[in-house]
Amino acid sequence: MAVAGHVAVKLWEMYMIRGRDPSCRAPLPPGTMGLPFIGETLQLLLQRRKFLRMKRQKYGYIYRTHLFGNPTVRVLGADNVRQILLGEHKLVAVQWPASVRTILGSDTLSNVHGSQHKNKKKAIMRAFSRDALEHYIPVIQEEVRSAVGEWLEKDSGVLVYPEMKRLMFRIAMRILLGFDPDQIKTDEHQLVEAFEEMIKNLFSLPIDVPFSGLYRGLKARNFIHSKIEENIQKKIDNDKEVKYRDALQQLIDSSRKSEEPFNMQAIKESATELLFGGHETTASSATSLVMFLGLNPDVVSKLRQELHEKEDQGVDLHGQNVNIEVLEQLKYTGCVIKETLRINPPVPGGFRVALKTFELNGYQIPKGWNVIYSICDTHDVAEVFPNKEEFHPERFMAKASEDSSRFNYIPFGGGSRMCVGKEFAKVLLKIFLVELSLRCDWTLSNGPPTMKTGPTVYPVDNLPTKFSRYGRS
């Protein structure tokens, strides 16, 4: 039986290697294709970082594998990733695994191309303009202040990661989709649970049968869509002038201006993607901030020093006079965020498909094969960051360091597909750090946690933490 299985795997390997383009002299990248049809998907889903580290150590910066139903080349390192990110529309095009496309939908920003992508991106970017971000600050402050207040009241401590997901979910619901606070209170528990289920099954085998990962993900997605559709209908029925138009309203406006009929399904898919991108990644990053600062009290001291200096200049960092300009002046605070995203980028990489056969660093990437560019591995191998294992925000203080890190440092991706919510995330995380640092001391109950990816980076133990009040001496 074992011999038959071994033969099947070898035949599968030979079959997949025949997929190389004979018109290109360059060889396929080294690697293995795993089990027939399943490939190495299960190993990736079960082992995540351990699997990727083993592959990198064995095969280097470019290797082949078979994931989520497709032959795949995984790419890391600044020079290699640069060619992929700048090769959009020429060498590669965005293409997420079939399960992601099925659950999130074909009309999302991450899945559309050409003029459709350009128009959708333009509509969403209006919701992340400087004026719009200015308008969001009081809402973010209110939600963060409320959450931190609750954590301080819990003598037994809190599980930071689930709490952070709830906090960031509320903020995204209010700011990006325009849900009112009372409505969020009513639906929050069910919506958070549905999102958990959807996200857990985003990367699964593309088999839609009862109780499969894809089936469970779609069921959760449908519930989320039903709630979002209620809110879209409210916006259409009560289309009155407001101080700002949130991202969902911008998508509705853009849809109305197009020559195509109003597409409710497309709006729901885009709103779900916004909610995913707007809370899952920021929850991951905010959790990592609590972790790294809890492990590095000297960084907390320097961070507070910057905040106290700003307060001594007459800026009430808890009050109404906090704006984008004030937040931009918090340079060290920004470096703490950058260093956190360097070590723990919330999204580990991005998916592309080869539009034609091309060469990359001596290897051929055949037309039609998937290409995954790795963010986390590219950060890990970047030589521009000395002492990479250390949490050292000062490394980003020098402008020269920032310039030299292009494509060595890509937490938000790059090229035409760079994260549209990049500036929103920076504002949100800075406000969170200000509130946390000026109001709390905290201790990680279990010390440094084991980190896992699924699909964003998170601590396996949910980061149990004890918060207490901080008073400036």
Q: Binding-site residues, please?
A: 419
Give the strand pairing for 349-354 and 358-360: unpaired
Give the Cα separation of 391 and 295 in Å (integer): 9
Give the Cα separation of 108 and 351 in Å (integer): 14
Structural tokens at position 193: 């649970």
8-state DSSP, 416:
G
Q: Supply φ then ψ for residue 9, to 5 degrees.
A: -65, -40
Structural tokens at position 457: 């980076």
CA torsion angle for 388, 389, 391, 394 (degrees, to 10)?
-20
Structural tokens at position 365: 């990437």
Give the Cα separation of 141 and 434 in Å (integer): 10
Closest CA to 436 of 325, 343, 372, 340: 340
Give the Cα separation of 406 and 378 in Å (integer): 11
Write out the binding residues for heme. Answer: 419
Give the Cα separation of 74 and 363 in Å (integer): 12
Structural tokens at position 133: 């971000």
CB atoms closer than 10 angstroms to residue 236: 14
Give the Cα separation of 442 and 461 in Å (integer): 17
Give the Cα separation of 91 and 110 in Å (integer): 17
Long-range contacts of 180-187 (CB under 8 A, 24+ apart): 183/231, 187/227
Measured N-to-C along each axis, helices 213-237 and 264-295 cross at an angle, to the nearest 10 degrees, of 110
Helix (H) or strand (E) holding 336: helix 331-343
Residue pair 171/428 in contact by the 8 Å Cβ criterion: yes
